[in-house]
Amino acid sequence: MKVAVVGATGLVGSKMLQVLTERNFPVTELIPVASEKSVGKEVTFKGKQWKVVSADTAISMQPNVAIFSAGGSTSLEWAPKFAAAGITVIDNSSAWRMDPSKKLVVPEVNGAALTQEDKIIANPNCSTIQMVLVLKPLHEKYKIKRVVVSTYQSVTGTGVKAVTQLMNERQGISGEMAYAYPIDLNVIPQIDVFLDNGYTKEEMKMVNETKKIMGDDQILVTATTVRIPVMGGHSESVNIEFENAYEVNDVRGLLAQTPGVIVVDDPSRALYPMPKDAHDKDEVFVGRIRRDETQPNTVNMWIVADNLRKGAATNAVQIAEYLQQKNWL
């Protein structure tokens, strides 16, 4: 299996290489791709050194699959060129997510929507992935009417520059700023740019992507996304209104049986998910499951996942695994 990783030298690209190794994806030849300035450098994968090549060179090497994590403009330019050469692209940017001709996939939720003809497959936004993994079984059983979500997102979602800003501030060092404001000892209630409706792009991604992945435009979603000074994962406070009645213990039991979800929910022992515990793990953790006492058929919960893993790299590799199992690569 020849595998190209486009954006191999970035934060998510490096995580892709780690996840491919850990999950033992059958890579016989790695083709690391990065910008022209990185061509010729080397990356380490499974104990070997692999030379970084340009996108053009990668296409000529005919990989079976290309996992993109190099930003929207790169994906818009290069994904169609890879696809035209018969290479399956799994794209981690926002470029193709809402394109009606492209599938937006979380394998455990809607992997069955994929076909051999899908040559550009979109990986959803990190915050959306961890939420829909929990929503899916609940929607099937209780039918979701409305979701209110507030996120508490790690600086790793912004990239190396943001991690550096946080660590510099912790040490009292002045340096390059990824954000308009300090992030240490602060929270910033803005992720991505503001749109005309007063919501940020990140918030509207959660609204629109959830409906597309769940295959139900009737689900109402409203989001507030916030950047906080942590590393290790994104957290979400989620309020879910159902059409049908439920029991809290049934919700807990249903989620405990859901592949990829781990329930950590024992208030008597102060057990609940935290980003430090999700760090470098592939599962989505859920806790603080409790009835909303202000209105009927509504539940509150707390959802945590490592945004660089299940929120990005792991989900992309799982899509590749699904395609490989179907012999479509």
**Contacts of the segment 40-45: beta carbons below 8 A, 24+ positions apart:** 41/9, 43/8, 43/9, 43/14, 43/17, 45/17, 45/20, 45/21
Check whether 224 is labelled as a binding-site residue: no
Are β-strands 2-6 and 65-68 bridged in parallel, bridged antiparallel, or unpaired? parallel
Which one of 15, 139, 212, 234 is the catalytic residue? 234
Q: Which residue has the tokens 């794209």?
A: 91
Those residues with Cβ within 8 angstroms of residue 49's Cβ, 6 or more apart along the chain or in another chain: 42, 43
Of 151, 128, 313, the C-alpha closest to 235 is 151
Those residues with Cβ within 8 angstroms of residue 107's Cβ, 6 or more apart along the chain or in another chain: 315, 318, 319, 321, 322
Alpha helices in 171-266 (DSSP H): 201-214, 248-256
Check whether 172 is labelled as a binding-site residue: no
Check whether 10 is labelled as a binding-site residue: yes
Check whether 97 is labelled as a binding-site residue: yes
Q: Name the burial class of residue 266, with classes exposed (0-12), middle (13-18) and buried (19+) by CB atoms within 10 angstroms of its CB.
A: exposed
Which one of 126, 191, 230, 323 is the catalytic residue? 126
Check whether 9 is labelled as a binding-site residue: yes
Check whether 201 is labelled as a binding-site residue: no
Check whether 153 is labelled as a binding-site residue: yes
- The question of whether 279 is a catalytic residue gets the answer no
> How many C-beta atoms surround the C-beta of residue 321 within 10 A?
18
Check whether 72 is labelled as a binding-site residue: no
- The question of whether 73 is a catalytic residue gets the answer no
Check whether 134 is labelled as a binding-site residue: no
Check whether 38 is labelled as a binding-site residue: yes
Taking the C-alpha atoms of residue 92 and residue 70, their distance in angstroms, rounded to an integer, is 8
Of 310, 286, 321, 319, the C-alpha closest to 125 is 310
Annotated binding site for substrate: 153, 227
Annotated binding site for phosphate: 97
Active site residues: 126, 234
Annotated binding site: 9-12, 37-38, 97, 153, 227, 307
Annotated binding site for NADP(+): 9-12, 37-38, 307
